[in-house]
Structure 1
């Protein structure tokens, strides 16, 4: 954030050459300037580049109010919040103005009177764009007073007449004047409350307790809604729908890479999680979204995979602390960078994520089975992607009917690597690691990542675990799981 301009009076503002623009002109011109300069006005949004974003940009250029329709966890709120980035960083307001009026155009009776008295010495303050974006979660208990305003009994008690505009306590929408108002889950607003928005969105004035205040409000109204709520649990009344200039459908990421990018960007990880595990989580999430056993009207939120990644990282950090796998930090705890998640940690995530998915009514009792099947499918797809064309026969041959390898949530990477059978070509383990991590492996499979681009012991163990799981899914090896341990043989 830069410092605000050092302009404090109306005379100084005029002398600076400042030009007053309406909110829609400001957004339109700033958006067009960013596009012409090749800048991305939508940082942190993945998967909308050729679908949602062009529609939204056209709506903003047209100056339309917008409603976004989409299932939960599709990034609707994040998209709305990025709109603030299209506003000028600093905008002038009449200092102390209740409705953030522009010094060139006061709209309330108090500000008009003040401007007439002060003249060129009218005090000017500066408002940052982050203050010009207002978000309201629409709930059934929201009142007209919350959104529009009401008569303030304290001001009446002070001796003002009921007809005096100064008795009005303004609600959220008028106070967002010259800014953006975002209404999340709009259908949850009671229909009579939605009616109160009609004048705001069309005539741009407000009515409070029978008083018509001709306030030329300058607001952009944007909203989000779940399509199922849109038609069943609640609805947007027809006159209000008609006032939104653009109705845009959002969607989950269409490409796997975008799904992984969302997880990596949004998850707060307490340990290192290799990209291949995020890929498996993304494939798992996408499989759930296409499964007939899952209620697709409810959707499978991106938060499902994000929470999964955070749980996987927590499982790795937990193992590091219990087994001493991580180095001790200044506070006596393991350093996050030393704990590396592996394939065995995914089970810990699936155990706690089932509640974030709504199953079809006919699938009662089969929830765990469905999740396990779809997870195996996701792992198998990742195995084919990374190990396609690689001959893993020597690894299978190393299991002579007696030899087994044990891994699990309490087995450290060093213990797992030490238990691996010797192969005629030791380079196979290096190739497996390189296929998953995209870089050559350390010959000693060191305890922690050393030189840049060199996999750590945890990454090396995770890659080989994935290969073993792939051989099990291909019915080349057997697997037994119990008490947090997995034995391949």
Structure 2
């Protein structure tokens, strides 16, 4: 549920037959608006019980019903929410509701419908060729266009402008074919997404009035009426946080729906987002992903963090990727053949993640301390949730007898496990943690589980701990 790679699909079939308008009509082709197309395909998925928006996590009972309603109603829409709530991912997923292939007039800049062309060039060509009007097929991946709104975006970028090259070729300024179309008309019969709409200068937002209401464009005073067929989707952060701009009231009024997004409600949803989006270079056990998910949720609830800015899902994703990299680094430096992330890998990564957080004014200099405190809480909560009621006396008895276990970023799997020897109840711990693979084969996950138990016992005040020279000593 993060602002991540586009939810595009590769071509699963070859383009349909038919290379002329006559052949297309003979096959029973009928024109549909893009909103009719989205409505029919969405209804088909809902009736079949298939996921309408694949890859979207945590919105099933909140955002998606509103989004489905807006699409069925044929509304242009704004997704409003804090950073890292999956707005861009959701926008891009809308493209999967389009037909896989769409016929257009060959050479048309605005994807004209062969059965009902609207631009002057295609109307002239249709009058000249009749049913021999050439047709090409466009894949749905090419029908979603996205623009990041920036203050330097111009009307020409979005709507269009006079093309001096075409004028130099001998066309008159009054000729509509001298227009160079912008991104919006070039997305005709598709979906146009605008990220960070408030960043768009207000005078540029005014230029979009006709697109949203009258469904046409005006270029440089031309008497040019170009009926556009598209779905317009925008994203925005709450205005009280960004302060970089606003969506002007008349433009906001022209959107049919405003949908609020949110962060995952349940820990399991947060873990699912991390598992789905993170590109891990080494295994990260499930219990450690849960620790990172709880840490992220703790930051979102902390009075030390500016909650107007939010805590993006990218924080947890980057944290998971960081601890995986730390495990890989340990394996490379020590020759450890089991590069599996452990609890000790998390604190080393935290300083690299502070740039993703905005703290309240009174917390200068305490940022790392705040995050490490919340990390301890996250580990303790995960420890209780995962191992509540489990007999851990096999671990505590070792320390009662004077055992000492040293771990850290550069302590190998073998070094860690050899300090404990056989431990009663370890198999049940691994089963609770979800790491029930063969101990002889998967020692890295065993070491990760052992270190998690040791840290949990310390946080619940059953084992002492001391940090010595970059290493952690339990039972000291």
Same fold judged by TM-score > 0.5? yes
Tell me, in whole angstroms, the C-alpha distance in 1 between the residues paired with 2:331 and 2:67: 46
Q: 2:18–2:135: 8 Å Cα contact kept in structure 1?
A: yes
In structure 2, what is the equivalent of residue 330 of structure 1? Answer: none
2:274 match: 263
Residue 187 (structure 1) aligned to one of 198, 208, 217 = 198
- Residues 97, 111 of structure 1: 8 Å contact kept: yes
User: Normalized against structure 1, the TM-score is what?
Assistant: 0.93
Q: CA deviation at 1:394?
A: 3.8
| SS in structure 2 of the partner of residue 343 of structure 1 | coil
The equivalences for 1:72-91 within 5 A come to 72-91=83-102
Supply the distance in 2 between the matched residues of 1:419 and 1:462 (Cα, whole angstroms).
Answer: 14
Match of 2:347 in 1: 347
1:9 touches 1:122 (CA, 8 Å); kept in 2?
yes
What do the CA deviations read for 1:122-166 (whole angstroms, capped 9, x no partner)?
100001011110000000000000000011112112221111101
Q: Distance in 2 between matches of 1:428 and 1:78?
A: 43
Once the two structures are TM-superposed, the CA of residue 294 in structure 1 deviates from its matched residue by 0.4
| Matching residue within 423, 443, 450 for 1:464 | 450
Report the counterpart of residue 156 of structure 1 in structure 2.
Answer: 167
Q: Deviations over 1:286-319 (max 9, x none)?
A: 0000011100000000000000000111011111
1:484 CA drift (Å): 3.0
* 8 Å contact kept, 1:398–1:421: no
2:236 matched to 1:225?
yes
Shift in Å, 1:483 = 3.5
1:437 corresponds in structure 2 to 434
SS in 1 for 2:171: coil
Report SS of the residue matched to 2:49: coil
Per the normalisation by structure 2, the TM-score is 0.95
Deviation at 1:342, TM superposition (A): 1.1
Q: Does 1:137 align with 2:148?
A: yes
Deviation for aligned residue 1:258: 0.7
Deviation, structure 1 residue 467: 1.0
Counterpart selection for 1:285 from 296, 305, 309: 296
* 387-396 or 79-88: bigger deviation: 387-396
1:205 shift after superposition:
1.0
Q: Distance in 2 between matches of 1:254 and 1:319?
A: 34
CA distance in 1, matches of 2:201, 2:468: 52
1:170 lines up with 2:167 in the alignment: no
Q: Distance in 2 between matches of 1:150 and 1:225?
A: 27
Q: RMSD across aligned C-alpha pairs, in angstroms?
A: 1.4
SS of equivalent residue, structure 1 residue 207: coil
Distance in 2 between residues matched to 1:47 and 1:22, nearest whole Å:
31
Moved more, 261-270 or 428-437: 428-437
What residue number does 1:453 align with? none
Q: What's 1:373 paired with?
A: 373
Alignment length (residue pairs): 464
Matched-pair contact (CA < 8 Å) for 1:93–1:125 = yes
Asked if 1 retains the 8 angstrom alpha-carbon contact of 2:285 and 2:435, the reply is no
- Are 2:425 and 1:428 aligned? yes
Say which of 474, 478, 484 aligns to 2:464.
Answer: 478
Q: Which residue matches 2:6? A: none
Residue 217 (structure 1) shift: 0.7
1:393 matches 2:360: no
Tell me: CA distance 1:152–1:49, structure 2 relative to 1, closer, same or farther (3 Å). same
Shift of 1:438: 5.1
Relative to structure 1, the CA distance from residue 375 to residue 231 in structure 2 (aligned partners, 3 Å threshold; closer, same or farther) is closer
Q: Unpaired segments of 5 or more residues in structure 1?
A: 327-337, 449-455
SS at structure 2 position matched to 1:211:
coil
Provide the rounded CA distance (Å) in 2 between the counterparts of 1:229 and 1:191.
Answer: 17
